[in-house]
Structure 1
Amino acid sequence: MKYFIVENNQPAGPFEIEELVRKGIKADDLVWCEGMEQWTSASNISEIMAALNRCPGIPPVMPLNMNQPPVYKTEQEPAAPEQVVSTMPAMPNTWLVASIIVTLFCCAPFGIAAIVYAARVETLWQTGRYEDAEKTSGKAKKWTLIAFLSGFAFYALYLVSMFTVFSNLKF
């Protein structure tokens, strides 16, 4: 079977699988062949992945797991890639800087939990797991606020207790 690929934002091909491997196709490159409704990543084509895994000099690249691949109008030839409408949402706030600051200055146990969640947000977003990235961002925010508020409460109680102790001292 012969496949089209995207080169310089233009469809190129058709190419046999061996030609694609020689051209250095990666698992996350977009491909299309006759009979397909839309472009898809090479990782979704078992024959291409099998050829990539057979070639020791060309390691397969793990694909970005896009929830919705780009949609092209296909008849005989694939549509130009610039017609693709991007459905990639903006990356949610990671809360990493805030979580590090509250860990250092407020409350380390809750801050560490915030850092763990904050560090996961970007990776989830880059792999196309947008809903998981949103949820993890929410958890990072929650733990950052808990760390800040618990640290604030601790320092407030400390100041009140010190004020009470020093006000009761008699010189």
Structure 2
Amino acid sequence: MLPKGKLPKRDKGHDNIVPEYRCLQVPVSIDHTVNTSILVVTNSSIPPVIDHTKMKKMPRQYFVWALASLFCFLPFGVAAVINSRQVRPLFQEGKYELSSAASRRAKVYSVLSTVIGLMLVATIIASLLLIDCRFYEDNATIVELHNT
């Protein structure tokens, strides 16, 4: 039994660190008339239990946007669809952090796919307009030479 307030921090024979302990006071009801509490000593190296009941809403899946991004830039669109489909199963398994991370990745891949797709379309349209302008300039020069 450890003396009150004196908890070992190091093992005396070795340099190994002994885990620190926390004391929790837990109320216990033996019967309806007597309420008492017991002292529970827990190892502080065990992470505290996180109450996930506050997280009531499932993260967004971005599935529709992921499907639309398939038509913009296929590699990132596929990654967006895969991540968006992982959000619900992870949330239902209680893996809230992983579910939130999958939602963020689905959004990032959807944005990247959309931006790259729009840039490709703009590049193609600009190229076609440039080629079209040069074609008309060359034909105008030919027509002028033919008329003289």
Note the residue ranges of structure 1 that are not aligned, 5 or more in a row: 1-34, 36-66, 70-85
List 4+ stretches of structure 1 deviating above 4 A: none
Tell me the amino acid that sits aligned with residue 102 of structure 1: S
1:146 matched to 2:122: no
Deviation track 1:145-166 (CA, whole Å, cap 9, x = no partner) reads 0000000000000000000000
Q: 1 CA distance for matches of 2:122 and 2:55?
A: 44
The correspondence for 1:125, drawn from 81, 87, 91, is: 91
Are the equivalent residues in 2 in contact too, given 1:89–1:130 (CA < 8 A)?
no
Deviation at 1:68, TM superposition (A): 3.7
Q: 2 CA distance for matches of 1:161 and 1:88?
A: 50
Deviation at 1:127, TM superposition (A): 1.0
Deviation at 1:107, TM superposition (A): 1.0
Name 1:91's counterpart in structure 2. Answer: 58
For the residue of structure 1 that corresponds to 2:54, the secondary structure is: coil
Deviation at 1:89, TM superposition (A): 2.5
Name 2:44's counterpart in structure 1. Answer: none
TM-align CA RMSD: 2.3
Relative to the length of structure 1, the TM-score reads 0.49
Aligned residues with identical type, % of pairs: 26
Relative to the length of structure 2, the TM-score reads 0.56
Are the equivalent residues in 2 in contact too, given 1:92–1:134 (CA < 8 A)?
yes
Deviation track 1:111-164 (CA, whole Å, cap 9, x = no partner) reads 001001000001111111111111110000000000000000000000000000
Deviation at 1:109, TM superposition (A): 1.1
Q: 2 CA distance for matches of 1:140 and 1:124?
A: 14
Q: 2 CA distance for matches of 1:156 and 1:89?
A: 42
Deviation at 1:88, TM superposition (A): 3.7
For the residue of structure 1 that corresponds to 2:107, the secondary structure is: helix
Residue correspondences, number: 91
Note the residue ranges of structure 2 that are not aligned, 5 or more in a row: 1-29, 31-49, 140-148
Larger Rg: 2
For the residue of structure 2 that corresponds to 1:169, the secondary structure is: helix
The correspondence for 1:108, drawn from 74, 77, 96, is: 74
